[in-house]
Amino acid sequence: MQFRDLKAQYETIKDEIDERINAVINSSAFILGKEVTELEDKLAEYVGRKHCIACANGTDALTLALMSWGIGAGDAVFTSDFTYFASAGSASILGATPIFVDIDLSTFNMDANALEKQILRVLEEGRLTPKVIIPVDLFGQPADYDKILPLAQKYGLKVLEDAAQGFGGSIRGQMACSFGEISTTSFFPAKPLGCYGDGGAIFTDDEEIAGRLRSLLAQGKSPFDKYDNREIGMNSRLDTIQAAILIPKFKVFVEHELDDVNRIAKWYTEKLKNHFVSPTVLPEYKSSWAQYTILLNNSEERKNIQHKLKEQGIPTMIYYPRGLHQQEAYSWMQLNDSMYPNTLEATSRCLSLPMHPYLKREDLEFVCNLLLNERS
């Protein structure tokens, strides 16, 4: 059994993917080929944004977005404490200071009340200037933008939506990647929409920002002369082959994969909800189910269950074993665990189960029955 079965997906669309890859090889347009523009247009239309700018990976997408706003030393960037390192590292690499925010344990996403407390703390201390909120659409579900966006407006902060795991999710029909002034996603292979290597994208409705992003991802080049660099940027273009792979993958993602993972998540929840803490999807929200993550009683039970499942050939993952405030890279901040009670609960109890659009009902039943036997 695979945690995320990329091979099963490939086998269903093999001919189209192979044809697309061969077309790129035959054209020899490996950088900035027409497939990149085709993909950008399709993604922008899907999420409802004017501009999609493809780039090399999800981390670069976040960094480029912050660069386009001139974020740097002395600036405070607020993000979830319970997420992948890139959400904070993208700010740190520019000299800004990430401020970690505790989560809502039911959704694993940033808690708006905790966010406001951190904003007020930074303002009271007066050492940093609050500039940006990076909500993370964790495990496929958009963050609580109904509460976060008004806070951003109240305190004059920009919102950079980190939808690395959230592509395909929505709130009342509005798609993830459309909630921030700038939004980003990742095409890492295990993501809801993944390529066969690294890839990412940035979304915005701002014409000027879109132009600057296209410059920054190509070493800060002028739009009129690629050998006239108007500022310091980076080399972060999406390879044409990856764009070619993503086009047929996006097609099946829209046609059935998003519905498939929601059906599978429903099966999981029906089987486990009376015995385990299953993930909560808020009313009028839709998740793209990057992960299906349950909460166990404690870390010892998790260790035992993970071992039992592994013995039966069932892969599981711990997303995430520690909060960002516990990372060695941020030990200099000397942050107190008491600020992050829900992150600590999640890190000690969370367990992610096999989840992908091609997971068979009998395999899911096998996983669930083993879990239920451990609780009986």
187: CATH: 3.40.640.10
Of the pLDDT bands very low, low, confident and very high (cuts 50, 70, 90), residue 223 is confident
Sign of CA dihedral 210, 57, 256, 134: negative
DSSP assignment, residue 332? Answer: G
* Same domain for 120 and 221: yes
Of the pLDDT bands very low, low, confident and very high (cuts 50, 70, 90), residue 376 is confident
* Same domain for 297 and 213: no
Q: Provide the strand spans (E) within the chain.
A: 51-55, 75-80, 97-101, 129-134, 158-162, 170-171, 174-175, 182-186, 200-204, 285-286, 292-295, 350-353
- Asked if the structure places residue 324 within a domain, the reply is yes
Distance CA 367, CA 99 (A): 38
Helices (H) and strands (E) in the chain, counts: 13, 12
Q: State which of 220, 248, 276 marks the end of a domain.
A: 248
Cβ pair 293, 108 in contact under 8 A: yes
- What local confidence, expressed as pLDDT, does residue 226 receive? 82
Of the pLDDT bands very low, low, confident and very high (cuts 50, 70, 90), residue 306 is very high
- What local confidence, expressed as pLDDT, does residue 190 receive? 96
* Same domain for 139 and 43: yes
* Same domain for 364 and 329: yes
- Asked if the structure places residue 194 within a domain, the reply is yes
- The count of domains in the chain is 2
DSSP assignment, residue 354? Answer: P
Mean pLDDT of the region 194-208: 98
* Same domain for 243 and 273: no
- Asked if the structure places residue 1 within a domain, the reply is no
Distance CA 202, CA 221 (A): 18
Domain that holds residue 73: 6-101+109-248
Q: Average pLDDT over the chain, rounded to whole?
A: 97
Of the pLDDT bands very low, low, confident and very high (cuts 50, 70, 90), residue 298 is very high
Measured CA to CA in angstroms, residue 145 lies from 109, 161, 290 at distances of 10, 10, 19
- Asked if the structure places residue 15 within a domain, the reply is yes
* Same domain for 62 and 131: yes
* Choice among 62-71, 83-92, 224-233, 322-331 with the minimum mean pLDDT: 224-233
Distance CA 165, CA 171 (A): 15
- Asked if the structure places residue 229 within a domain, the reply is yes
Category of 91 on φ-ψ map: left (φ > 0), alpha (ψ -120 to 50) or beta: alpha
Cβ pair 215, 231 in contact under 8 A: yes
- Asked if the structure places residue 42 within a domain, the reply is yes
Cβ pair 221, 229 in contact under 8 A: yes
Q: State which of 198, 222, 248 marks the end of a domain.
A: 248
* Same domain for 277 and 345: yes
* Same domain for 229 and 145: yes
DSSP assignment, residue 331? Answer: G
- What local confidence, expressed as pLDDT, does residue 149 receive? 98
- What local confidence, expressed as pLDDT, does residue 26 receive? 97
Cβ pair 264, 357 in contact under 8 A: yes
Q: Is the pLDDT of residue 224 over 90?
A: no
- What local confidence, expressed as pLDDT, does residue 148 receive? 98
Mean pLDDT of the region 267-288: 97
Mean pLDDT of the region 21-36: 97
Q: For residue 325, give the CATH number of its domain.
A: 3.90.1150.10
Mean pLDDT of the region 202-229: 95
Q: State which of 218, 248, 278 marks the end of a domain.
A: 248
- What local confidence, expressed as pLDDT, does residue 291 receive? 97
- Asked if the structure places residue 206 within a domain, the reply is yes
pTM higher than 0.85 for the full model? yes
Cβ pair 77, 98 in contact under 8 A: yes
- What local confidence, expressed as pLDDT, does residue 375 receive? 83
Neighbours of 235 (CB within 10 A): 10
* Same domain for 97 and 202: yes
- Asked if the structure places residue 46 within a domain, the reply is yes
In the three-class reduction of DSSP (H, G, I as helix; E, B as strand; rest coil), residue 211 is classed as helix
In the three-class reduction of DSSP (H, G, I as helix; E, B as strand; rest coil), residue 200 is classed as strand
- Helix or strand run (H / E) with residue 142: none
- What is the per-residue pLDDT across 88-141, written as a single tens digit (0 to 9) for each? 999 999 999 999 999 999 999 999 999 999 999 999 999 999 999 999 999 999
Label residues 121-138 b or e (16+ Cβ within 10 Å = b).
ebeeeeebebbbbbbbbb
Of the pLDDT bands very low, low, confident and very high (cuts 50, 70, 90), residue 181 is very high
Of the pLDDT bands very low, low, confident and very high (cuts 50, 70, 90), residue 162 is very high
Joined together, the tokens standing for residue 63 give 């960094």
Neighbours of 98 (CB within 10 A): 24
* Same domain for 138 and 236: yes
* Same domain for 63 and 175: yes
Measured CA to CA in angstroms, residue 206 lies from 53, 179, 211, 313 at distances of 12, 13, 9, 48
Distance CA 100, CA 114 (A): 9
* Same domain for 187 and 284: no
